[in-house]
Amino acid sequence: MEIHDHLLQFTLFQGMSHADLMEVVGHTKLGFTKLAAGKWLVKEGEPCSHLYFLTNGTLHCETSNDNHSYRVVEHMAAPYMLPCEQLFGLSPLHTSSYKAETPCNLITIDKQEVRLLLETQLVFRLNVLNTLAAETQRLRHRAWRSAPRQLRERVIRFLFSRCLYPAGSKTFFILMKQMAEELNASRLDISHVLNEMQNDNLLTLHRGRIEIPMIERLLM
């Protein structure tokens, strides 16, 4: 694929004319990164200094709670853009860790080049604003959703709210005791709900680990 065709796979460049895309390709310093399987791309807490666009391969993504007592692993297949909201703001740090699950190819754009694109490319600027606004609206709405009445619904919301992408396979490394504390429930009740979901073939329980092959099925 041509570079501009790769860029069109990502939200920030969609809607651009062919002329605008050619200008971006011709005047923007694009980086091209290859990662062998098992190599880290970025780690949680590192400064976010680039936009990363995965054009080929699959990334293993890990996100932990504040004290790292539990974490979730997701698998992000191309085309995928690492979240752009960490690039600016009060805390421009990566909040998740990414490493190559398979050999990966990425296009990178550093922060200074992103600033130039925001100044010179109207469609790019609007796409960034729309992305940030959508994320802000989603987070603001979360606090006003009706509280789940059943413990099973609370468990499902707990799992979904800790994922970056609401579909695909997920692995939660968490003890039932920890989940019970997070949901203000007894360990026995959490165990009962999770075993019930396992009997429904929605997930598989292991010691300290929950495997969910398709998290979207939890809503069915």
pLDDT, tens only, 140-158: 998 898 889 899 999 999 9
Helix (H, G, I), strand (E, B) or coil at 118: helix
Residue 174 has pLDDT above 70, yes or no: yes
Q: Number of helices and strands (H, E) in the chain?
A: 7, 11
Distances (CA, A) of 144 to 140, 165, 178, 182, 216: 8, 21, 25, 19, 22
Give the chain's mean pLDDT.
95
Q: What is the pLDDT of residue 169?
A: 96
Tell me if domain 3-142 and domain 151-219 are identical in fold.
no
CA distance 79 to 106: 9
Q: What proportion of the chain, given as a percentage, has pLDDT over 90?
A: 89
Written as six digits, the tokens of 148 are 């789940």
Residue owning tokens 């979901």: 197
Q: What proportion of the chain, given as a percentage, has pLDDT over 70?
A: 100
Question: Element (H or E) spanning 129, and its range?
Answer: helix 122-142
Cα dihedral 72, 73, 76, 82 sign: positive
> What topology does CATH give the domain 3-142?
Jelly Rolls (2.60.120)
Q: What is the pLDDT of residue 45?
A: 95
In the chain, the DSSP E strands lie at: 31-35, 40-42, 50-56, 58-64, 71-77, 80-81, 97-100, 104-110, 170-173, 204-206, 209-212
Q: How confident is the model at residue 1 (pLDDT cuts 50, 70, 90)?
A: low
61 - beta bridge partners?
A: 74, 98
The ranges assigned to domains in the chain are 3-142, 151-219
- Average pLDDT of the residues in 56-64: 97
Residue 99 has pLDDT above 70, yes or no: yes
- Average pLDDT of the residues in 154-167: 95
Q: How confident is the model at residue 54 (pLDDT cuts 50, 70, 90)?
A: very high
CATH architecture assignment, domain 151-219: Orthogonal Bundle (1.10)
CA distance 129 to 142: 20
